[in-house]
Amino acid sequence: MTDLKYRLAPASEMSRYCFPNNAVSGDASRCVCLIDSSTVEEINHIVHNGGLYKRPFNEAFEETPMLVAVLTYVGYGVLTLFGYLRDFMRQWKIEKCQNATEREEQKDFVPLYQDFENFYNRNLYMRIRDSWNRPICSVPGAKVDMMERVSHDYNWTFTYTGRVIKDIINMGSYNYLGFAQKTGACQEAAAKVLSQYGAGVCSTRQEMGNLDKHEELEKLVARFLGVESAMAYGMGFATNSMNIPALVGKGCLILSDELNHASLVLGARLSGATIRIFKHNNMQSLEKLLKDAIVHGQPRTRRPWKKILILVEGIYSMEGSIVRLPEVIALKKKYKSYLYLDEAHSIGALGPSGRGVVEYFGLNPEDVDVMMGTFTKSFGAAGGYIGGKKELIDYLRTYSHSAAYATSMSPPVVEQIITSVKCIMGEDGTNIGRARVQQLAENTRYFRRRLKEMGFIIYGNEDSPVVPLMLYMPAKIGAFGREMLKRNIGVVVVGFPATPIIESRARFCLSAAHTKEMLDTGGSVLATRTKQFCKYTWEQEEV
């Protein structure tokens, strides 16, 4: 075991913090214990289900140090006070009011926005607004060109200087397998299809928008995933929000992870089913909910539930954690519920041949009832898909909202997906796909190890290409983004409300297109320039 936090102990010492060593090295007489330190809480571990995992599962979410938490709250408090002060000054015209205002003719209408709703926007978000929506003008590959913009009024308005900042190392785009390219087989194929078919489709799938290309794509995706049948949609977000209502309705129960994506939450809400939340990646919480649901039935009427659907994601993009799929499938089989797996980030990024989290854990794709994913991240295109049994897909072809009312996918985009899937599967006759998947795994391990060695707090699973680096304090969000950009590295910073209020973070998305030199550059910038204000971890203990 290369991780510093574990030690081997005799099996008799097995406690809540251990997992059987046979999951790792085949030795059943010993268990691997986590160091029971008071600063190391909430470390997820495999307990009695160790036999379900065929590979080590290392996730860590180090707890926020107390001093840092207090300082973060103080920081937000100061910002809020200043916010009130500025609002006061704006109201009394001491300071110029920069926001857009309502029309004169409509001043007596009910106000469109409540003042408080926008407090966060005006006073906190506006100060660091330049960290987001950065406009680029090249392929979003490993290096990207950005349009320079300046603000002379503290981010209320931006002007473009006309200069282009070239060759910024791009650690923010979801380009896991490096298919965002402007040259190569994918681009040529897409160009050919574009000249043949045009850009749009102008009709829905059920009417006149079902091209032969779509049928080809769906067969290919089904083969890639190892399922009976698949269906593709034009937007990943809409795949969730339009298909979950088709699968479940009133009288059904949805068990959704705490940190699910907005599209899953919206789809669950629109379906009209009852929603219950279980703690993030916590199997005990999920099992308790399942037991209670079946035993007690629907609230008040006590009728049995029509069906239970568990919504989980493959990789959670804000935490970098991977779902505990073997345990979820074991629970699902035991309690006869259905599993909806959203592989937006994990398809192409996990698994020895890029087939996602199911392959990563060595499980059978038929165990997952609904396999959903998107083409935006690892395939360099746009859209989403759902794969599963033929009855499921036939039903979705008939009753999905998207098939009946939304325009189908654009042909060049479809061709890009077809070419990139064939490349990953190795059917184009080259080794590129395989090499990229391996490169991504290597990059992930290397980068994560380096950041840990430098002393940063990194969340998530060891194998996840999404690397969140904790910043905590609000001022550091803006500072980190700007410092990295000055040194030509583009990162993504996230704060409230995408994350809990004291857990702001910077997020690195690794790519197979990143070379070791780029990762080293990133690491050295972090080590020299930003380390003094981001180094938090207390964990340096040796085994």
* 404 forms part of the interface with other proteins (CB under 8 A): yes
Instruction: Name the residue among 382, 406, 501 with its Cα closest to residue 72.
Output: 501
| 32, 124, 128, 238: which one binds other proteins (CB under 8 A) | 238
Shortest Cβ 396–other proteins spacing (Å): 8
- List the one residue from 6, 57, 237, 278 that touches other proteins (CB under 8 A): 237
Cα end-to-end distance, the chain, whole Å: 10
Q: Which of 406, 475, 485, 527 binds other proteins (CB under 8 A)?
A: 406
Decide: is 197 part of the binding site for other proteins (CB under 8 A): yes
Q: How many residues bind other proteins (CB under 8 A)?
A: 121
296 touches other proteins by CB under 8 A:
yes
Shortest reach from residue 483's CB to other proteins, in Å: 17
Q: Report the residue number, 14 or 146, with the smaller CB distance to other proteins.
A: 146
Site residues (CB under 8 A) for other proteins, limited to 478-537: 490, 492
Beta bridge partners of 342: 313, 372
Question: Least Å distance between CB 278 and other proteins?
Answer: 17
Tokens representing 404? Answer: 């009946």
405 lies in the site for other proteins, by CB under 8 A: yes
Give the number of C-alpha atoms closer than 13 A to the C-alpha of residue 297, restricted to the C-beta side.
5
> Could you tell me which residues are beta bridge partners of residue 206?
none
User: Which listed residue (97, 208, 435, 543) binds other proteins by CB under 8 A?
Assistant: 208
Closest approach, Cβ 459 to other proteins, in A, equals 18
Q: Give least dist CB 125 to other proteins, A.
A: 8
275 neighbors 250 (Cβ within 8 angstroms): no
The one among 44, 402, 443, 504 contacting other proteins by CB under 8 A: 402
Which of these, 436, 486, 485, lies nearest to 465 by C-alpha position? 436
| Cβ-proximal residues to 343 (8 Å cutoff; 6+ apart), any chain | 313, 314, 356, 357, 371, 372, 373, 374
Residue 104: both structure tokens together: 């004169």
Q: Could you say which residues in the range 69-108 bind other proteins, by CB under 8 A?
A: 99-103, 105-106, 108
By CB under 8 A, name the one of 51, 77, 135, 362 that touches other proteins.
135
Residues 249-288 that bind other proteins (CB under 8 A): 261-263, 266, 269-270
Tokens of 481: 């983004």
State which residue, 101 or 364, has the beta carbon closest to other proteins.
101
> What is the distance between the alpha carbons of residues 535 and 65, in angstroms, rounded to a whole number?
11
- Output DSSP code: residue 202: -
Q: At what angle do helices 283-296 and 325-334 cross, to 10 degrees?
A: 10
Q: Which is nearer to other proteins, 50 or 380 (by Cβ)? A: 380
Quick one: which of 338, 360, 385, 508 contacts other proteins (CB under 8 A)?
338
Q: What is the DSSP string of 270-312?
A: HHT-EEEEE-TT-HHHHHHHHHHHHHH-STTT-PPPS-EEEEE
Residues ≥6 apart with Cβ < 8 Å to 253: 273, 274, 275, 276, 293, 305, 307, 308, 309
Among residues 13 and 215, whose Cβ is nearest to other proteins? Answer: 215
Which of 72-80, 85-93, 375-383, 535-543 is the region at the interface with other proteins (rule: CB under 8 A)?
Answer: 375-383
136 near other proteins, judged by CB under 8 A: yes
Q: Read out DSSP for 11-64? A: GGG--TTEEEGGGTTS-TTEEEEEP--TT--S-----TTGGG-SS---EE-PPP
Q: How far apart are CA 74 and CA 78, in angstroms?
A: 6
> What span, in angstroms and rounded, lies between the C-alpha atoms of 462 and 475?
28
Query: CB-wise, 184 or 455, nearer to other proteins?
Result: 184
Restricted to residues 2-21, the positions that interact with other proteins (CB under 8 A) are none
From the list 20, 83, 234, 354, which residue makes contact with other proteins (rule: CB under 8 A)?
Answer: 234
387 binds other proteins (CB under 8 A): no
Nearer to other proteins, 147 or 277 (CB): 147
- Residues 113, 154, 156, 538: which binds other proteins (CB under 8 A)? 113
Under the binding rule (CB under 8 A), the answer on residue 194 touching other proteins is yes
The single residue among 336, 482, 531, 535 that binds other proteins, judged by CB under 8 A, is 336
